[in-house]
Structure formats: structure tokens, C-alpha cells
Amino acid sequence: MEFVKDLVSVITPVYNAERFLEKTFKSIINQTYKNIEIVLVDDCSKDSSAEIIRRFISEGISIVYHLQDINRGAGVARNKALKLAKGQYVAFLDSDDVWLPQKIERQLALMKEKKAGFSYAAIEMIDENGKQIKSKRNIKESCDYKYLLRNTIIATSTVVIDRNILDDFRMPLRRSGQDYATWLMLLRDGEIAYGINEVLSWYRVIKGSLSANKLKSIKQVWEIQTQEEHIPKLCVLLNLCFFIINGLKKYLF
């Protein structure tokens, strides 16, 4: 497939996102880099998400919209969006997160400087009302496969991928944890991901979800590393020890 040069396709799965969708859209529209299309896959929302999307389309915003026939989960929705996306670059943004205005411009500049296919950035955590609950999470300014086996430094809503370098990929079909599995898949053959240690995205924490996610993530890492990366179980146990320690540091300090 031939991608449109320099176009950034923003990949956003939508499910019951009416509370935050407008702020998320506006953070895309307000980017200093303007060569952007928004690719939305609605995973059978039961709220007014579709009406909000139609309003933005009527205002002339470049939006590709697809409604799933049944609810299939964020991974399947993202893969459908990746299939619909025309851009050389794909950038992931969850429907409740927010970008700062220079995010895309800054990351594309870094990728061109490094001739890299993968970039990410630091985040701050906000609550449902947009109030900061955690200050900047520092990140390494480069990350390889081995490092990622023991860390969770790559936040989905910060990732930008150049498909001319990393090809037309799809996420593993997992109900959850597909983002982490994808980053491992893309870095598996020696690719380096480059980061900007400045806050370029706000990650929204929904009440009641954080502790559940931490418990699930341990099982997800085990499954991904043993079943999809085929790493010996003893090595995965060691990786998990580091994973848990680094996760505790991230959320407690």
C-alpha cells in the first residue's frame, strides 16, 4: 500500500466517550502541524459519541468514520482504523486523552532527525475533570526491545509510527494489552524507539480503573511475553519482577 507522504492519520477507537470526545478532538485540531486526518472507529457506543462526531464532520474537519457492527474491543477497532488510514504516519490517541499543541510537530522533527520509525513522549496524568493528579513521568529518550520487556514507559497516546519505515502493521488481536504487544512486535528486530522527555500528552485516569489495570497488566505481560514473544518462563518471571518494581515507582513517586 502506498501511503500519503507526510500525512498523519490519528487512530482513535471510540466507545461511550461523550464526556471527553470534544476535548480530545480539539486537541487534534489545534495541533501546530496541520496535515492530519482523524480516523475514528466507533465500537458500538451507546451514548451520544456518534452525534458529536457528526457535528465535527459537518464543520469540515477531516474525519474518516466507521461504525462497527458489534462491540469488538479497542484492538480490533484500532486495526480497522489502521486499514482505513492513508497517512505515512499513524499517531494513536485514545478518546479520553489530550494532546498538547506541538506534539505532532515535535515528534515528526525528532523522527526525521533520527531517521526513526517510532517515537513517543512523556505524559502527565489528569483526572476526569482535567485536574493534574500526577506530574510528568520521566522517560528514557530511547528504548529498545530488551528495555521494554521490563518497563512500561511507552504510553499509547504518545506513539507516532512511520509506516514507510515499519510497514503496514496490525495490532495483535488481544482484548486488552494489544498496545504493549504491538510495541514489542515493532521493536523485536532491532528498531529503536525515540522519546521526548517533555509532556506532550495528558493521560486521563478514569475513577476506579487504575488499580484494576495494574492487576491486569501483570497477567497481560506474562501472556504476551510467553505466548507471543515465546520467551522462556523463567526469564519472563525475572522480567515481571522488574516490571512490577518499575510500575510501582511510576505510580507512587
**pLDDT by residue (tens digit) across 59-83?**
988 999 999 999 888 889 999 999 9
Domains of the chain: which residue ranges? Answer: 4-206
Task: State the pLDDT confidence band at 177, using cuts at 50, 70 and 90.
Answer: confident
The cell 493534574 sits on which residue?
132
CATH code assigned to 4-206:
3.90.550.10
> Of the given ranges (35-39, 76-80, 173-177), which has the lowest mean pLDDT?
173-177
SS3 135: coil
Alpha-carbon distance 216 to 84, whole Å? 30
118 burial (CB, 10 Å; 0-12 / 13-18 / 19+) is buried
Q: What is the pLDDT of residue 211?
A: 47
pLDDT value at 250 more than 80: no
Alpha-carbon distance 219 to 140, whole Å? 25
- Are residues 145 and 184 in contact, defined by beta-carbon separation less than 8 angstroms? yes
Cα torsion through 39, 181, 166, 148, rounded to 10? 120
Distances (CA, A) of 73 to 70, 91, 215: 9, 19, 19
pLDDT value at 210 more than 70: no
pTM of the predicted protein model:
0.93
Q: Note the helical H segments in 9-102.
A: 21-29, 49-58, 74-84
Residues 168-181 have a mean pLDDT of: 89
